[in-house]
């Protein structure tokens, strides 16, 4: 694998993807809304392997268009891997529903991966042999929902699961494989550093799933530990 593009690369799971891919010798396009001290440090110590592309809000049609069509760093580049990682979790319950917050989660968690993937396919940055990973959540699994609440997050991740399953069908004949991946319950800002696994262990598992991904396995929903998850 030579070239990978990651969304939400400035912290958490996205930043760790950049670290581990760069350590494998992959050239990483680390996209984010705003860079961080950690991502800048990684980029400057990487000898050019990690390139930061800021101002990429995955909820913005214009920003995604600009990335796919006009970003100079991507000129002539064919991506081997796209990781749709950017996401948000808001915590509304039935007694505290804020539809604006729910809409925002759809915009980022569901439409973001579809918007980025479709634009990069259209501009031929992704093609035969490329892989697309969507970092979803088992909280988007209807079969696995035993605890309720978190309406916007659950609904937006269920919707992105359908987007990924549909992309898998549409991209199969073009030789592009798609995986829906749950990272585990990971100690990041999103979980307020609670969680069961450290980010390095989660990302090592996610990369193992991506390594195994082929067009013949396209469209699956896996835990980072390799377990197949129910829809
Ligand atoms: N941590 C877990 O236990 C867990 C479990 C299941 C699934 N996940 C999924 O894993 C992915 C990464 O989560 P994380 O734990 O690393 O969370 P995190 O530490 O909160 O990081 C989220 C990342 O997404 C970015 N982001 C949010 N909205 C964005 C937007 N509109 N455009 C571009 N980037 C945006 C953030 O950038 P800013 O700094 O600009 O906000 C940040 O880089 C998410 O999709 C999440 O749903 C995480």
CATH homologous superfamily for 3-223?
Answer: NAD(P)-binding Rossmann-like Domain (3.40.50.720)
Q: What is the DSSP letter of 54?
A: -
- Nearest atom in ligand 1 to the alpha carbon of residue 89 is 47
The H or E element that residue 38 is part of is helix 37-45
For residues 58-66, average pLDDT: 98
For residues 44-59, average pLDDT: 97
- pLDDT for the residue numbered 139: 98
For residues 185-214, average pLDDT: 97
- 50-53, strands of its sheet edge to edge: 50-53, 27-31, 3-6, 81-84, 131-135, 177-182, 220-223
- pLDDT for the residue numbered 27: 98
Q: What is the pLDDT of residues 71-90, one digit of tens each?
A: 999 999 999 999 999 999 99
Residue 138 has pLDDT above 80, yes or no: yes
pTM, full prediction: 0.98
- pLDDT for the residue numbered 191: 96
Which residues neighbour 35 within 8 Å (Cβ) at sequence distance 6 or greater?
Answer: 10, 52, 54
Q: What is the DSSP letter of 4?
A: E
Residue 1 has pLDDT above 80, yes or no: no
Write out residues with Cβ below 6 Å of ligand 1: 7-8, 10-14, 32-34, 57-59, 85-89, 108, 135, 137, 182-183, 185-186, 188-191, 195
Q: In angstroms, what is the span from residue 88 Cα to ligand 1's centroid?
A: 5
- pLDDT for the residue numbered 120: 98
- Probe target for ligand 1 pocket from 7, 10, 13, with the most ligand atoms within 8 Å of CB: 13
Residue 162 has pLDDT above 80, yes or no: yes
Residue 152 has pLDDT above 90, yes or no: yes
- Nearest atom in ligand 1 to the alpha carbon of residue 9 is 43
Residue 92 has pLDDT above 80, yes or no: yes
223: tokens are: 């835990």
Torsion of CA 123, 128, 129, 130, to 10 degrees: 20
Residue 193 has pLDDT above 80, yes or no: yes
- pLDDT for the residue numbered 157: 98
For residues 165-183, average pLDDT: 98
Query: Considering the chain, what percentage of its residues have pLDDT values greater than 90?
Result: 98
Q: In angstroms, what is the span from residue 11 Cα to ligand 1's centroid?
A: 8
Residues identified as active-site:
153
Q: What is the pLDDT of residues 5-33, one digit of tens each?
A: 999 999 999 999 999 999 999 999 999 99
Q: In angstroms, what is the span from residue 173 Cα to ligand 1's centroid?
A: 31
Q: Which residues pair with 82 in a beta bridge?
A: 5, 132
Q: Quick one: which of 157, 226, 229 has its CA closest to 190?
A: 157
Q: In angstroms, what is the span from residue 48 Cα to ligand 1's centroid?
A: 24
């Amino acid at each position: 694998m030579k070239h990978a593009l990651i969304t939400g690369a400035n912290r958490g799971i996205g930043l760790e993807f950049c670290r581990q891919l760069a350590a494998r010798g992959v050239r990483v396009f680390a996209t984010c809304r705003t860079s961080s001290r950690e991502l800048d440090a990684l980029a400057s110590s990487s000898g050019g392997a990690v390139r930061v592309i800021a101002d990429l809000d995955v909820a913005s049609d214009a920003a995604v268009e600009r990335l796919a069509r006009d970003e100079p760093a991507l000129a002539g580049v064919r991506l081997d891997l796209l990781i749709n990682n950017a996401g948000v979790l808001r915590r509304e319950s039935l007694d505290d529903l804020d539809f604006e917050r729910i809409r925002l989660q759809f915009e980022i968690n569901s439409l973001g991966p579809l918007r980025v993937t479709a634009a990069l396919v259209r501009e031929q940055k992704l093609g035969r042999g490329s892989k697309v990973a969507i970092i979803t959540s088992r909280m988007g699994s209807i079969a696995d929902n035993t605890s309720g609440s978190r309406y916007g997050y659950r609904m937006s991740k269920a919707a992105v699961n359908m987007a990924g399953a549909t992309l898998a069908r549409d991209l199969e004949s073009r030789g592009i494989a798609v995986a829906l991946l749950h990272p585990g319950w990971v100690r990041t800002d999103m979980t307020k550093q609670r969680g069961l696994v450290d980010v390095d262990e989660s990302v090592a598992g996610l990369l193992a799933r991506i390594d195994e991904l082929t067009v013949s396995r396209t469209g699956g929903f896996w835990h980072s530990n390799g377990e197949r998850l129910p829809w």
